Structure 1
């Protein structure tokens, strides 16, 4: 064996795919198309079905599918008071349904992603796709037989106990961390994925609005079942395991997994980065608080006065907003990365997000409301930027634990936002319809300030990928 043959080659494991995105990434995008399309149509269908049932119960068959009562200005009209009751009860039941999907999953969300550092990622995809499929089948039956709305909440409760879609989110980000290198490569991968998600949500929302208007509620929900079944098949037969054995953490007792979720913010092991992690997770918490419940609030806002929009117009607006945000993720992220750092992009995003909420709060006409997607174009970028920075600071064997902590915070945000903003919305209807959006703009200001503090006081240390030593024979 010659000296040249014995020469060790240093090979960057994560760079085996170079800076390009390989087939594993495109399989993930394929899965996303079916899973998120199913989830988006499900969201719009169940939200509007709840209002349909409230109209049917409160209006007792009168004007169930009409907007005439909503558009009326005679506040002494008994039907006007009934419609206000419809709005308030719809917000209340949507809050119950959202809480049922999130609160029971807190424990599962905190444990399962961390365990994936030991056993691999694929199980994290199987659990939520199966749980969502079961829920959608039960939703279809509830709608077909027009059972009581409480059964919608029960179905969500069962799905939520398995971690709901938040386990899926954690699986996605851990999967991306496994197949990308820290820094620009991972930032692009996360942002393109989230931009693609928004485009997918856009098209699904647009289709859902017209679908519901002309086909009712049962057929759209059965479409969700079919789409999610395809996603389930992709997970079972196509999605590969990406967390290599040499990068897996050692098996530990269950209680240690809880500790792993918080060690980035409390452990002395991360003492040099702890303040950076704390600032970023705080910014992420408030950023998610401003974003996680936006679509639900906008739907309630548009269904009520002064807009009184039908299903297809709600879908059109949602498509417009998500399309502009997706455009920023897919098209603008590369040139933005060439001009700004990740933290500066996040600061810019927080400012634009706050501006979009102020415009939405004071919108009184359809035209003004349709201008909201323009400042909202950059609004979603702050969240993937924060995730990318935190992931780049973290070793490969702790990515699952990191995203477990991030997704746990996301669940807490969803619970908080659902209760807080639905309560604010229903309580301020008689004062100012857009008040809740001013509150959200204030939270965007908080995110802006935290990110400025981070930019001025912290230096990001990128965790380099592991190197494998290969000897040629």
Structure 2
């Protein structure tokens, strides 16, 4: 470690240019949340349609109801068929997610950085167009009962534009452009994340009842219509927030890739590299624990001993996301009055750990419905870490910063489904809740990283100047 990095460094001590989150900027919320709503509905539609198709192909006669959950004889053909359906569903869901996550990793390492040159809006229009094509292809596949491979093709279309990771990068860069570092940016980040979780709540609730009473095609058609509306908002009404003085010159792909890793290796950020690294690793652990949680919970709830129907799955998703969303929106202001961003993130990791442990050992519907209670503050780790990193970064590097964060998130989007589904398929026969203990381990690792960060940093806010002191001591 260099001598410079051992010495405390004042970061962003320049006078902050006044930024105001105006009424016109609120169009970001419906533009982004229409996509999130459609995404969560199609997620449940596709996941359960895959399960339904595999059941039919396996000539499995059961409906996944309570009578099948009572089967305990491992030699019973119905029991064997039931477990095979679960395993094959997990494998196809893995293919579906990898088809999106693998190309998304490469796309998110490149595209978001170009928003420092071409503006934030192009990220939305580009990604939303791909989503629209994906939903149209998924709807046709369901309506005409095409082979499952067409769902993989549709997922790949989403992935080559960076999937929702690119959208997230655009959203956070948009917010960073129009908010001041520190308290204001933290509050808007948390508000955005909280509203997003409430949107996921509504999506999960709607998906459960739509699938139960309308089948699969009608909710998929609804997703397509909603995505078209979001695409129109992004194309026509979403304002550009990148200021002319902060526009970077057009550079090569290699240079843009280099900009995304400079925060963690370049001498330009000497003294801050350790802080950036600890924070991005805390985001990594949080995303590894949470990015594929809904998918693995769906398999967990479809299997024994729960065998939940669509309504119950939707209600559970609604309860967990609503609890986390409301907690973020309602508690962030009082929490910020008495705690730092780092302390809130540490508490959030502990909250998630408790939630996963409870879920792992749940044996009844009541225990499973209690899972959202300890998970109340579970989503704040990512919001706090992003806010801290953004406050340490100059305006003309915000796009590159969030490109690096979304690249890490996309790694999780690729790795987490593979790990979760592989572990679940390997352990479902003897302890189907084991995967949640693995996810709890990621949360404990994040907890440790943030404790280290708390010992090596100090934040001081004075008027119009934000000073961030980072040290490796």
TM-score after normalising by structure 1: 0.93
Cα displacement (A) at 1:24? 3.5
Matches within 5 A, 1:89-168: 89-168=88-167
Matched, 1:43 2:43: yes
Aligned length, in residue pairs: 452
Query: Is residue 128–residue 162 contact of structure 1 (8 Å, CA) maintained in 2?
Result: yes
Per the alignment, residue 415 of structure 2 pairs with 416
Deviations 1:5-43 (A, max 9, x none): xxxxx996433x2xxx42233111121332111111111
Q: Deviations over 1:307-332 (max 9, x none)?
A: 00000100000000000000111111
CA distance in 2, matches of 1:355, 1:65: 29
What CA deviation, in whole Å up to 9, does each residue of 1:39-92 have, x standing for no partner? 1111111111110111111135x2356553344233221011011000001111
1-side partners of 2:185 and 2:164: how far apart? 22
Change (3 A) 1:140 1:116: same
In 1: Cα distance, 2:108 partner to 2:18 partner? 27
Alpha-carbon RMSD: 1.8
Asked if 1:181 is matched to 2:199, the reply is no
Q: How far apart, CA to CA, are the structure 2 residues paired with 1:132 and 1:70?
A: 37
Give the whole-Å Cα distance in 1 for the aligned partners of 2:413 and 2:92. 15
> Aligned in 2, Cα 1:440/1:463: closer, same or farther, shift over 3 Å?
farther
> Residue 259 of structure 1 corresponds to which residue in structure 2?
258
Change (3 A) 1:453 1:154: same
* Mapped contact 1:354–1:441 kept (Cα < 8 A): yes
Q: Deviations over 1:260-315 (max 9, x none)?
A: 01000000000010110111111111111011011001000000000000001000
Q: Which residue of 2 aligns with 1:299?
A: 298
Distance 1:12-1:436 versus aligned 2 partners, 3 A rule = closer
Give 1:106 shift: 2.0
The verdict on how the C-alpha distance between 1:310 and 1:463 changes in structure 2, with shifts beyond 3 A counting, is farther
Aligned match of 2:53: 53
1:410 positional shift: 0.3
- TM-superposed CA distance for 1:108, in Å, is 1.6
Distance 2:99 2:24 in 1: 33
Q: Which runs of 5+ in 2 are unaligned?
A: 1-13, 466-473
* Alpha-carbon distance in structure 2 between the residues aligned to 1:321 and 1:413: 21
The alpha-carbon deviation at position 135 of structure 1 amounts to 0.3
Does the 8 A contact of 1:281 with 1:406 survive in 2? yes
User: 2-side partners of 1:425 and 1:25: how far apart?
Assistant: 42
Distance, in Å, in 2 between the alignment partners of 1:147 and 1:205 is 25
Provide the secondary structure at the position in 1 that maps to 2:208: helix
**Distance across 2 between alignment mates of 1:39 and 1:126:** 16
Q: After superposition, where does 1:291-330 map in structure 2 within 5 Å? A: 291-330=290-329
The equivalences for 1:239-258 within 5 A come to 239-258=238-257
Structure 1: any 5+ residue segments left out of the alignment?
Answer: 1-9, 467-473
Greater shift, 394-403 or 109-118, is seen at 109-118
